[in-house]
Amino acid sequence: MTGRENKGVYLILIEKKKLKNDSGNFSVDIGITVEEWKEMLVNEEIFYDVAKGMIGKWYLFPNQEATHNEVMEKHSEEYLNYKASPFNGIVKGLAKQIMKHLNRFEVTQSDGEGSSYWSILFEGWIAEKSRNGGFVWKLRKELVQAIDELDLFIDHKFEKKATLANELEVHISDFKQLCDESALSVTSLSNMEVVSLVAEFQDKFPKEKLASLTFEEYALGTNSREDSYSYWLEYKTDKLGSIKGGSVDKHGIWFSKDEGFRTSSKFSAESKEASMDIMRKALADLITQGIMRNFDAIEEGILANTVKYKTLYMYYPNLYLPIFSNDHYSYLIKELGYSPKDYKGIGVKQKLLIEIKEEGKKLSKLSMHEYAHFLYYLFGTPRRKKDSSSEIWIDGGTLKGNDDESNVENEGNLKMTYQLLDLDLAAVNDKSNPTASKENAKPFKRDYVAKQKSNMITGEKGEVLVVEYEKDRLKKYQELKSKIEQKSLNDDSLGYDILSFETNGRERYIEVKTTGGKISSELSFYLTDNELQTAKRDENYWIYIVSEIDTGMPKITPLKNLFSEEHEECVQIKPLKYLVSVGVVEVNSEF
């Protein structure tokens, strides 16, 4: 024995990881966890100010992705005197610090030669030709999550929302113009109509009544089902935001013809009244938390999300969005550059959208109803191909490029030219004696066959023009556009000429009235009794007046629900023909 201490030898193995190139998409699995990123982000020896500032710039971009040129362009004042990108050097220094700290790997280029530093913080791909720059860097998702959890760039987060709000507000004027044009119901209801329907619901079910709702007053399937809370929520107010479809158990408590009183598991109790006690408490708690917009407590509530958030909107339409689908929220926040995985639950996603709205001067002035439809207008509406299908397609969206030539069918027709007119309706003059003006008229003989033939040709021209206009109106909604039908070609018993659609998929019934003349201070046209009854029965009945049809610029004037109470003073209906029926006892052919 020499008496010397025998010291152990420790070997540290550094794993070499090769950058993968998959058809221009570059990535490598480096195995850094969210917790490790969090630890390093607060270590100023690793993430020094300049490095942290650079990461913050990428974090601000939608989806946390950008080219060097895009970042420098956005921060042009800061990089005004730079002839080349400074980011490669910053990333190289930062990556070396990270590898030194972890001391377990290094990354080589895809060909195995030389080190790859940028891939430690980013994944990347060759940029599309339309982008400013040749290569895109995207922050690693674990790094983004760590930044979110630390609230590291809390000021940047607000800056990001403000930046998004500014970018969205560029499109508000176009959206508002569509809302103001009677022929383009992009919001399906006006603000006044929303207020009216919400008030009607609240009159029927005041907040204070929820704590004492009976089973019959709440549930679907009872004798008073069409007056029940659940029926109003799902069907009578569906124009405000639909929760139709899916299982009835979303309502928690209901009545089945075959099985009688039924509940979902969360409302199961020893008796009907005990189940209703649970329901009444759930509704009362929701209303209490709703006024405070306490999303954490709201998310913990036992009501189904669709019922929960539809209820909140019906009582607090200025605090909540009329969007009740988690799929829709995930789609919209993803389009705005956020990862749905980082926002669990409808409440958190809705809160994010509302925060973006409140950051914009113009956005904040939109009602929640308008804001929801504004987002759909920009990004389109997610729809399932079948009710039970998980496959989703996007209907419309002005920012989705759905009107590119590659996506628009070639109909082989020349483009028609027309002008859209908007009328302000006024009280009509009552001409109580329609025959007075005819007393001094000279007698004449009309050629009714020629007149009828001329009317048919004129009417057909007008209908073809309206079909063309409707296809223009729905050009960003290809599936709806493909369903437009000129029904009058095969069936004249429907009470309308053309079946079209609103951008939300609702059917629009159109009766076309065509004239060669101009519209004067008083507009007159003929309706059959069938057309009149259809107009009074169907809520979304439109009359399109096509005037100056034989000129180079015919005019289209859409009139919605002309025979509703709203327009009672502006419309006068006079019977000009009579159907005469004569009772006959016996027909005798011998004279």
pLDDT in tens, 20-72: 988 889 999 999 999 999 999 999 889 988 888 899 889 888 788 999 998 88
DSSP, collapsed to helix, strand or coil, labels residue 15 as strand
Closest CA to 186 of 168, 199, 174: 174
pLDDT digits (tens, 9 = 90+) for 448-506: 444 444 555 667 888 888 998 898 888 878 888 889 999 888 887 888 999 999 887 88
How far apart CA 218 and CA 262 sit, in angstroms, is 13
Write out the DSSP string of 156-183.
HHHHHHHHHHHHHHTTHHHHHHHHHSTT
pLDDT at 116 over 50: yes
How far apart CA 376 and CA 361 sit, in angstroms, is 20
Burial of 377 (0-12, 13-18, 19+ CB in 10 A): buried
pLDDT at residue number 549: 80
Q: Which residue has the tokens 């009183």?
A: 261
pLDDT at residue number 142: 94
Task: Tell me phi and psi for residue 391, to 5 degrees.
Answer: -80, 130
Q: Nearest 5 degrees, angle CA 169-CA 359-CA 49?
A: 110
Q: How confident is the model at residue 419 (pLDDT cuts 50, 70, 90)?
A: low
Is residue 291 within 8 A of residue 312, CB to CB? The reply is: no
How far, in whole angstroms, is CA 112 from its chain's centroid? 48
How far apart CA 448 and CA 455 sit, in angstroms, is 10
pLDDT at 424 over 60: no
By percentage, how much of the chain surpasses pLDDT 90? Answer: 36
Write the CA distances from 369 to 14, 353, 387, 469, integer angstroms.
57, 13, 25, 27
Is residue 478 within 8 A of residue 398, CB to CB? The reply is: no
Q: How confident is the model at residue 97 (pLDDT cuts 50, 70, 90)?
A: very high
pLDDT digits (tens, 9 = 90+) for 186-217: 445 778 889 999 999 999 999 999 999 999 99
How far apart CA 248 and CA 253 sit, in angstroms, is 9
How far, in whole angstroms, is CA 203 from its chain's centroid? 28
How far apart CA 109 and CA 115 sit, in angstroms, is 6
Closest CA to 168 of 465, 457, 375: 375
Q: Which residue has the tokens 């942290």?
A: 52
pLDDT at residue number 490: 81
Is residue 146 within 8 A of residue 38, CB to CB? The reply is: yes
Buried-state track 140-156, b at ≥16 Cβ within 10 A, e below 16: bebbbbbbbeeebbeeb
| The CA-based dihedral angle spanning residues 389, 369, 423, 573, taken in that order and rounded to the nearest 10 degrees | 70
pLDDT at residue number 467: 92
How far apart CA 244 and CA 238 sit, in angstroms, is 8
Question: What is the rounded average pLDDT of the residues 298-327?
Answer: 94
Task: Tell me phi and psi for residue 124, to 5 degrees.
Answer: -160, 170
By percentage, how much of the chain surpasses pLDDT 70? Answer: 80
pLDDT at 185 over 50: no
Buried-state track 302-337, b at ≥16 Cβ within 10 A, e below 16: bbbbbbbbbbbbbbbbeebbbbbbbebbbbbbbbbb
pLDDT at 4 over 50: no
Q: How many helices (H) and strands (E) does the chain have?
A: 19, 17
How many beta carbons lie within 10 A of that of residue 114, not counting itself? 8
Q: Which residue has the tokens 């759909």?
A: 376
Q: Which residue has the higher pLDDT, 155 or 311?
A: 311
pLDDT at 157 over 60: no
How many beta carbons lie within 10 A of that of residue 55, not counting itself? 24
- Sort strands 25-27 and 122-126 into parallel, antiparallel or unpaired: antiparallel
Buried-state track 403-415, b at ≥16 Cβ within 10 A, e below 16: eeeeeeeeeeeee
pLDDT at residue number 111: 79
**Paired tokens of 169:** 């507000």
How many beta carbons lie within 10 A of that of residue 579, not counting itself? 5
Q: Tell me, what DSSP letter sits at residue 139?
A: E
- Sort strands 381-384 and 392-395 into parallel, antiparallel or unpaired: antiparallel
Is residue 427 within 8 A of residue 570, CB to CB? The reply is: yes
pLDDT at residue number 589: 47
Task: Tell me phi and psi for residue 383, to 5 degrees.
Answer: -135, 145
Question: What is the rounded average pLDDT of the residues 396-402?
Answer: 64
pLDDT at 436 over 60: no
Lowest mean pLDDT among 329-343, 435-449, 460-474: 435-449
Is residue 239 within 8 A of residue 197, CB to CB? The reply is: yes
Which residues have C-beta within 8 Å of that of residue 150, sequence separation ≥ 6?
38, 41, 42
Helix (H) or strand (E) holding 306, with range, is helix 305-315
**Which neighbouring-strand residues pair with 419?**
555
How far apart CA 313 and CA 228 sit, in angstroms, is 18
**Type of residue numbered 443:** P
pLDDT at 261 over 60: yes
Q: How confident is the model at residue 153 (pLDDT cuts 50, 70, 90)?
A: confident
DSSP, collapsed to helix, strand or coil, labels residue 109 as coil
pLDDT at residue number 429: 57
Residue 499 — left, alpha, or beta (φ > 0 → left; ψ -120 to 50 → alpha)? beta
Q: How confident is the model at residue 270 (pLDDT cuts 50, 70, 90)?
A: very high
Mean pLDDT of the residues in the chain: 81
Lowest mean pLDDT among 325-334, 349-358, 581-590: 581-590
pLDDT at residue number 38: 93
Question: What is the rounded average pLDDT of the residues 88-101?
Answer: 92
Any idea where the domains of the chain sit in the sequence?
Answer: 15-152, 178-395, 419-430+448-570
